């Protein structure tokens, strides 16, 4: 193909996608990082300050305390997802992929449903269900004889964050379930049949043959969970508002970024500090991705079927 | 089937039914109670509405006191236009990347895949500045541009996999007949991508329809709010009016559930076809 013709074709086919993506995705990321090295005075004039915003964010007690609080809350948010969402997803995928299971289409559809809904809707619905006012949760616990366990979980500093994490787990468990289910379906029948001929039961086949084979998918699910969790915002904002109460117990990096950028009742919006927070979030996600690529992805043996 | 096998199969179904109930229970509870009078919502939350407790008062209030129809049409416009552009531009780019050999194609593919992992939300400060200086602030166009940029990387990735599976002979035959490249793409390749559309749609429509962040940042007037943002603000204002709150929640839930139930077969086939590995 002549060079000029190829260039024309590439421009036509790739031009729109590359232009929109660069202009509205990559450029804003770079520009936000650049903006994080500036500060603005009340008149709106910007001046270059180097890394001073980051020194303030990580060093000044007024900034570093809420930042580290949001960061550690975010770690807890992520830990709950890893320890609850992924094991449940694996277990459900394992059950769904059992040979000869009836109604599996129905179960899959129903279990994936919450994932399709808006986080805002999910948050509010659970807010109502768990509210002591309505008493659905209290009544349900009482019905099984555990009434004394009920507490306004979303309102207590000690339990609000874990409760919100579990609501998020409830919503998104469909994603690990589906990805792992797909990976389980890709395991060749002969492998399982051979194990069965050798006399292995369902449990041992699952733990000794199927699970090791889907490890690459499980690690992919983990990194997807990590990125989604360190970028989360909607659920906390819709249930707890921008102040992430009670007393910032549910504040995560997403809500901290929003408050810094836009301001709220307690502070004025600050775009340059907001950029600094976004840049730090970017590097946290980047470090996570690099750890995944270099430590996990490289060690995983890929099985060719 | 032996008795032991039957018992085991029963156990599996019990677990799956229990989890299914946990998954849909909260949604059913909200939708069911939205059709009841206030006393019945509190008095017997777990009972379905009957002749004496049925009421549409919550829905009436939502229609009267919010711009719910505007929000719906905004969400529809933003989602459909974004999805159409993501599919069109995504398929074109995926075709060029998989079909033509050129210097820098690997680098370009890597550049485009940054967006799969790095959330565009982190560039919000600059996006807002750009939209303000371009005069696009508080318009649906601003949302569409951002969502197209957000959806393209994943759609290019998925569609490239599909395009690679299309037999080479098909386009080579067309090329021998002297058919121009653009016609090969639009008339030979594009129609073959139809099965991929459901998969791409899952990864494009759902996050756009459900997004709260960008409408919150980029739109400020009622006339440009989407359903998610509109309902969020409505719920904030009317939090004590349970009829309205439950009705607003149900109105935001139902369209998604209906579309999901209609499309779920293709959607799950797309998810489990291994397009994303």
Give contacts of B108 with chain A, Cβ < 8 Å: 14, 18
CA distance A128 to B34: 12
Q: Do A18 and B108 touch (CB under 8 A)?
A: yes
pLDDT of A234 higher than 70: yes
Q: At what angle do helices A119-130 and B242-272 cross, to 10 degrees?
A: 130
Report whether B119 contacts A227 (CB < 8 A): yes
Exposed / middle / buried, residue A130 (Cβ in 10 Å: 0-12, 13-18, 19+): buried
**Nearest-CB residue to B249 (from A116, A125, A234):** A125
Q: Do B145 and A12 touch (CB under 8 A)?
A: no
Give contacts of B130 with chain A, Cβ < 8 Å: 24, 27-28, 31
Q: Do B97 and A14 touch (CB under 8 A)?
A: yes
Summarize the confidence of residues A142-167 as an average pLDDT.
85
Q: Do B124 and A28 touch (CB under 8 A)?
A: yes
CA distance A130 to B59: 23
CA distance A79 to A26: 30
**What ipTM, to 2 d.p.?**
0.88
Q: Residue A29 — pLDDT band, cuts 50, 70, 90?
A: very high
Tell me the residue length of chain A. 305
**What pLDDT does A300 receive?**
64
pLDDT of A297 higher than 90: no
Own/partner pairs for B179-188, CB < 8 Å, 24+ apart?
A: B181/A9, B182/A9, B182/A12, B185/A13, B185/B92, B185/B95
pLDDT of A56 higher than 50: yes
pLDDT in 10s for each residue of chain B, 277 residues = 678 788 888 889 999 999 999 999 888 888 888 898 888 888 777 888 888 888 888 888 888 877 888 998 999 999 999 999 999 999 999 999 998 888 888 999 999 989 988 999 999 999 999 999 999 989 999 999 999 999 999 999 889 988 888 888 888 888 888 888 889 899 888 888 887 877 787 778 888 988 899 999 999 888 899 988 888 888 777 777 888 888 888 888 887 788 788 777 777 777 766 544 4
Query: Which of A9-23, A154-168, B221-235, B243-257 is most confident?
Result: A9-23
**What pLDDT does A302 receive?**
57
**What pLDDT does B55 receive?**
86
Q: Is A4 on the interface with B (CB under 8 A)?
A: no
Query: Which of A31-35, A213-217, A260-264 is most confident?
Result: A31-35
Which residues have CB under 8 Å from A257's CB, separation 6+? Answer: A233, A274, A277, A278, A281
Whether the predicted model's global pTM rises above the 0.80 cut: yes
Give contacts of A136 with chain B, Cβ < 8 Å: 29, 45-46
Q: Is A268 on the interface with B (CB under 8 A)?
A: no
pLDDT of A259 higher than 70: yes
CA distance A114 to B190: 32
pLDDT of A250 higher than 80: yes
Summarize the confidence of residues A24-36 as an average pLDDT.
94
Q: Do A120 and B231 touch (CB under 8 A)?
A: yes
**What pLDDT does B277 receive?**
42
Picking from B266, B144, B97, the residue whose alpha carbon sits closest to that of residue B194 is B266
Give the minimum alpha-carbon distance from B106 to chain A in angstroms, rounded to a whole number: 13
Q: Residue A167 — pLDDT band, cuts 50, 70, 90?
A: very high
**What pLDDT does B275 receive?**
45
CA distance B107 to B113: 10
**What pLDDT does A303 receive?**
54
Q: Hey, CA dihedral for B112, A23, B95, B102, is it positive or negative?
A: negative
**What pLDDT does B140 receive?**
94
What mean pLDDT, rounded, does chain A reach? 87
Which residues have CB under 8 Å from A22's CB, separation 6+? Answer: none
Q: Residue A14 — pLDDT band, cuts 50, 70, 90?
A: very high
Q: Which residue of chain A comes nearest to B206, CA vs CA?
A: A116
In A, residues 48-87, which contact B (CB 8 Å cutoff)? none
Q: Do A113 and B120 touch (CB under 8 A)?
A: no
**Nearest-CB residue to A17 (from B30, B156, B265):** B156
CA distance B267 to A116: 11
Give contacts of B249 with chain A, Cβ < 8 Å: 121, 124-125, 128
Exposed / middle / buried, residue B143 (Cβ in 10 Å: 0-12, 13-18, 19+): buried
């Amino acid at each position: 193909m002549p060079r000029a013709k190829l260039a024309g074709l590439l421009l036509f086919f790739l031009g729109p996608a590359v232009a929109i993506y660069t202009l509205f995705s990559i450029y804003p990321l770079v520009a936000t990082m650049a903006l994080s090295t500036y500060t603005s005075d009340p008149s709106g004039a910007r001046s270059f300050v180097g890394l001073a915003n980051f020194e303030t964010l990580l060093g000044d007690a007024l900034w570093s305390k809420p930042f580290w609080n949001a960061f550690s809350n975010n770690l807890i948010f992520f830990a709950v997802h890893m320890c609850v969402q992924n094991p449940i997803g694996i277990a459900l995928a394992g059950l769904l992929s059992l040979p000869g299971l009836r109604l599996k289409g129905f179960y899959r559809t129903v279990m994936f449903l919450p994932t399709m809904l808006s986080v805002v809707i999910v948050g509010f619905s659970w807010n109502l269900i768990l509210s002591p006012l309505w008493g659905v949760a209290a009544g349900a616990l009482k019905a099984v004889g555990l009434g004394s366990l009920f507490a306004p979980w979303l309102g207590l500093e000690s339990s609000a964050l874990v409760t919100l994490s579990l609501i998020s787990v409830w919503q998104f468990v469909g994603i690990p379930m589906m990805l792992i289910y797909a990976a389980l379906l890709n395991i060749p029948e002969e492998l399982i049949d051979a194990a069965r001929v050798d006399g292995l039961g369902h449990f041992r086949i699952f733990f000794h043959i199927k699970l090791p084979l889907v490890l690459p998918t499980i690690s992919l699910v983990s990194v997807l969970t990590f990125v989604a969790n360190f970028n989360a915002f909607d659920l906390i904002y819709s249930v707890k508002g921008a102040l992430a109460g009670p007393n910032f117990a549910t504040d995560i990096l997403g809500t901290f970024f929003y408050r810094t950028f836009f301001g709220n009742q307690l502070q004025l919006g600050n775009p340059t500090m907001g950029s600094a927070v976004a840049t730090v979030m970017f590097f946290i996600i980047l470090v996570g991705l690099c750890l995944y690529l270099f430590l996990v992805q490289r060690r995983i043996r890929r099985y060719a079927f | 089937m032996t008795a032991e096998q039957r018992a085991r199969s029963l156990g599996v179904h019990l677990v799956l039914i229990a989890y299914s109930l946990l998954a849909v229970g909260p949604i059913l509870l909200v939708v069911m109670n939205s059709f009841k009078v206030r006393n019945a919502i509190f008095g017997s939350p777990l009972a379905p509405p009957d002749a004496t407790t049925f009421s549409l008062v919550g829905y009436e209030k939502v229609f009267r006191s919010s711009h719910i129809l505007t929000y719906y049409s905004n969400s529809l416009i933003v989602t459909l236009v974004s999805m159409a552009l993501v599919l069109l531009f995504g398929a074109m780019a995926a075709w060029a990347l998989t079909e033509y050999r050129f210097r820098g194609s690997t680098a370009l593919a890597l550049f485009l895949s940054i967006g799969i992992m790095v959330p565009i939300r982190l560039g919000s400060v600059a996006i807002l500045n750009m939209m303000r200086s371009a005069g696009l602030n508080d318009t649906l166009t601003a949302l569409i541009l951002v969502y197209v940029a957000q959806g393209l990387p994943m759609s290019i990735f998925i569609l490239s996999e599909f395009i690679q599976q299309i037999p080479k002979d098909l386009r080579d035959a067309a090329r021998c007949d002297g058919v121009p490249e653009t016609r090969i793409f639009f008339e030979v390749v594009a129609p073959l991508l139809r099965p991929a559309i459901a998969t791409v749609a899952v990864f494009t429509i759902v996050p756009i329809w459900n997004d709260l962040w960008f409408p919150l940042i980029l739109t400020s007037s009622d006339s440009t709010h989407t359903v998610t943002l509109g309902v969020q603000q409505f719920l904030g204002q009317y939090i004590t009016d349970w009829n309205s709150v439950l009705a607003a929640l149900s109105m935001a839930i139902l369209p998604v559930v209906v579309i999901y139930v209609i499309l779920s077969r293709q959607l799950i086939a797309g998810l489990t076809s291994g397009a994303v590995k």
